[in-house]
Amino acid sequence: MYVVLALLLLGVLIIAHEAGHFWAARACGIGVQEFSMGMGPLIAKWQSRKGTQFSVRLLPIGGYCQFYGEDEDEPDPRAFNNQAIWKRAVTVASGPLMNFLVAFLVVVLFMSVIGINTIVPKVAQVEENAQAAGLRVGDVIFSVNGAEMTKYQQISQAIAASAGQNVTLGVKRGEETLSLTLTPFYDEAAGRYRVGFSFGQERTRISILTSIPVSVQHNIESVKLILSTLKDMIFKGQGVDDVTGPVGTVYVIQEVTQQGGLDVYLELIALISVNLGVMNLLPIPGLDGSRLLFLLVEAIRRKPVKREWEGAIHAAGFILLMGLMVLLTYKDIMRFFIKG
């Protein structure tokens, strides 16, 4: 089941990417020759009234959106290369932008509908020191030394500031209100004074308006993390051995999802979607970033690079990417399934 969820995740994100290209092309008057879900041998196809062939192919990891006149000049007014530079740029960029949009919506949905785990001033675990003083699991702490507090950080800071002097906690236990006195001890590992209990967590829903800036910031941090990882990989060689292909990605997704549940699954959707967006914007031949670079050169020179040159560069890049995919797939199979 988890393998199916992993494949479904990748498939949906790739289809969303290609749908971004497709919808932008339609909006800009560019003809779409084929919209393929999957790669490899054809399983099924059907033709739309606007002439687009929708295909389902054997390998579920991948997909593409092929435009009329993308790699050669054609007289058809719907041809990609007959459109204004800005229309072509919008169409090319809309794939990665769709990945960013999906990541944004997933985080908003997660926070506003499902909710996030928030640490609350409720006792979840009691150690010997606190237990002896009468503290119990489920107690809600509302004050320290008579000062009312509503956040767990305030309570922790007040206890840490006690420097080992007795602290009196105001506690609600069901309908009862209690006053418990505890003696803090210095925790070497934590580097502060504690009284021997852990706070609990509750799932809290955030309003859509509040979740929007949080989602934006969350995905900005994801982009920074991905770019930092790429930089370390290129200039320091760090993490090269950890790079995975499609098989490894599916394996990791199903393993993490199995252990972490829905929360982790949705987090992975957002992270992988951002990753697809960032990677496709890199100026690597065969990827969207390379096509955007050629459009920039065309805008500066006021004339396009020769179609045969651009086509050859993209084709060479695609072949290299497919070769890398095969190599990573072999490496993933050896790492995860044969050598363990």
Residue 138: DSSP 8-state: T
pLDDT above 70 coverage of the chain, percent = 84
Partners of 119 in the β-ladder? 201
Distance CA 91, CA 27 (A): 9
Distance CA 275, CA 261 (A): 21
The pLDDT tens digits of the residues spanning 156-196 come to 899 888 888 899 999 999 889 999 888 888 888 878 888 88
Q: Which of 93, 98, 114, 110 is nearest to 215 (CA)?
A: 110
The pLDDT value given to residue 184? 87
Distance CA 162, CA 183 (A): 9
Identify the band that residue 145 occupies on the pLDDT scale cut at 50, 70 and 90: very high
Distance CA 271, CA 279 (A): 12
Q: CA angle at residue 267 from 245 to 206, to 5 degrees?
A: 165
Domains and CATH numbers, the chain: 2-115+210-338 (no CATH), 116-204 (2.30.42.10)
Distances in Å between the alpha carbon of 318 and those of 113, 240, 325? 40, 21, 10
Task: Please give the structure tokens belonging to residue 127.
Answer: 């150690």
